[in-house]
Amino acid sequence: MSTTSLVETSVKPSQKPLLGFLSRGVWNLALRKALQALLTVWAVITLTFFLIRLMPGNPVDVYIAELTGTQGMSYQEARDMAVSLFAFDPGSPLGNQYVAYLGNLLRGNMGNSIRSPGIPVTEILAAFLPWTLFCVGISLLISFTLGILLGMTMAYLRDTPLDYALTAIGSFLSSVPNYLIAILIIVVFGVQLHWFRTSDVIGGYTPGVQAGFTPEYIFDILKHAMLPALVYVASKIGGWMLTMKGSTISTLGEDYVNVARARGLRDRRIVTAYVGRNAMLPLFTSLAVEIGFVLGGAVVIEYIFQYPGIGRRLFEAIQRRDYTVMQGIFLVITVAVVISNILADMLYGVLDPRIRTNGEK
């Protein structure tokens, strides 16, 4: 037997178990992640299903109260109308409702809206979700980008008047609720200073403007999305600024940064390749969660500005006790958060080569 054949026979047996082990490890990790995701989604679905039914009132009772209070109907007339309109039996056992709901989900059916009979929940999501993705999604990216830049600036110029001013602004914005910022903008700049008319910024577009890819319609949409986006950016940017500042200051004290400076590397190279990249790592977990919650929208902000996003639709569904719409929106939010966290784990390993999904360096 030749020397080459002896080497091949001695190497191949040792390689196969190693490759097989790595393959099994990757598959086990993927399976474990998938099972964790499914269990999380199932747990949230179950918790949401029962919690919303513990709220006082049900769709039939709320609708009866609306008819008797606003239209002067008698209780019996209102009840007869509610029973004829809604395909919902409040006296049905919760266990039966839960099993039927899970069965429909497994078939990809979220059901129909209780308060809007005949309209599937999927159509409602498809109608309102793009508005939220456009407004809140862009606002999140703007607040995250500006927060990182300002946070790094605060860290490099710490203990200067600019640092003190930006820190105060960031602390103030991160502590004020977003709905309060929205109300202040409307009252101060709209009502008191007359910088804009409130009727021009309420809703998603101006009634009468024809929908389509025309400059008039695009400009009108941007005009109506400007204030909700501004409120969302203002409510989020403070947290990104302060977190990035603390992370950058911590990174600047690392040994590898001092070694890079001793080697004579340019400041721009140190900022981008050493400081910025490592200081941003802790922020990506928070960003992943925020990306998931983008699908939920800014509920109160959208309701204040009457913006036609999924957050406003969720607010209205809660008021009307529209169980199926609430369940559909919460399900979409849950799936988005779970997926975004999985992607964050993968992205973390890409940004930091020292981290591996299998726990090895």
First-to-final CA distance of the chain: 40
- Specify whether 103 is located in the same domain as 153: no
Query: Is residue 135 a part of any domain in this protein?
Result: yes
* Burial of 130 (C-beta count, 10 Å sphere; 0-12/13-18/19+): middle
The pTM (predicted TM-score) of the whole model is: 0.78
Task: With cut-offs at 50, 70 and 90, classify the pLDDT of residue 241.
Answer: very high
Query: Is residue 119 a part of any domain in this protein?
Result: no
**Phi then psi dihedrals of residue 199, to 5 deg:** -65, -20
- Please tell me the distance from the alpha carbon of residue 64 to that of residue 73, in angstroms, as a whole number: 9
Q: pLDDT value at position 25?
A: 57
CB 204 within 8 A of CB 307: yes
- Looking at per-residue pLDDT, the higher value among 176 and 77 belongs to 176
- Specify whether 216 is located in the same domain as 142: yes
Query: What is the full DSSP assignment across 187-201?
Result: IIIIIIS-SS-HHHH
CA distances to 120, 122, 257, 322, 324 from 108, rounded to whole Å, are: 12, 10, 52, 19, 14
Output DSSP code: residue 90. Answer: T
Q: Residues of the chain with pLDDT > 70: what percent?
A: 82
- Specify whether 104 is located in the same domain as 170: no
Give me the amino acid identity at 267.
D
Q: Region 286-299: what's the mean pLDDT? A: 77
- Specify whether 129 is located in the same domain as 102: no
Is it the case that residue 314 has pLDDT exceeding 80?
A: yes
**pLDDT, the chain, mean:** 80
Bridge partners of 112, per DSSP, are: 120
Which tokens belong to 290? 């925020």
Q: pLDDT value at position 13?
A: 45
Q: pLDDT value at position 273?
A: 67
- Specify whether 50 is located in the same domain as 152: no
Structurally, the chain folds into a number of domains equal to 2
Q: pLDDT value at position 164?
A: 93
**Phi then psi dihedrals of residue 45, to 5 deg:** -60, -45
Q: pLDDT value at position 95?
A: 87
- Looking at per-residue pLDDT, the higher value among 100 and 19 belongs to 100
Q: pLDDT value at position 354?
A: 58
- Specify whether 135 is located in the same domain as 103: no
Query: Is residue 4 a part of any domain in this protein?
Result: no
- Specify whether 105 is located in the same domain as 146: no
Query: Is residue 156 a part of any domain in this protein?
Result: yes
- Specify whether 175 is located in the same domain as 59: no
Which tokens belong to 270? 């140190």
Q: Region 73-87: what's the mean pLDDT? A: 75
* Torsion sign, CA atoms 98, 102, 103, 105: positive
> Tens digits of per-residue pLDDT, 334-351?
888 888 888 777 766 666
- Specify whether 201 is located in the same domain as 248: yes
- CB proximity list for 329: less than 8 A, separation 6 or greater: 125, 296, 310, 313, 314, 317
Task: With cut-offs at 50, 70 and 90, classify the pLDDT of residue 122.
Answer: very high
Which tokens belong to 360? 């090895």
- Looking at per-residue pLDDT, the higher value among 207 and 259 belongs to 207
Q: Count CB neighbours of 262 within 10 A.
A: 8
Bridge partners of 120, per DSSP, are: 112
- Please tell me the distance from the alpha carbon of residue 2 to that of residue 290, in angstroms, as a whole number: 63
* CATH number of 342's domain: 1.10.3720.10
> Tens digits of per-residue pLDDT, 173-205?
988 888 899 999 888 888 888 888 877 778 888
- Specify whether 240 is located in the same domain as 141: yes
What domain range includes position 61?
37-85+94-109
Q: Picking from 36-40, 191-195, 270-274, which range would have the lowest pLDDT averaged per residue?
A: 270-274
* Burial of 247 (C-beta count, 10 Å sphere; 0-12/13-18/19+): buried
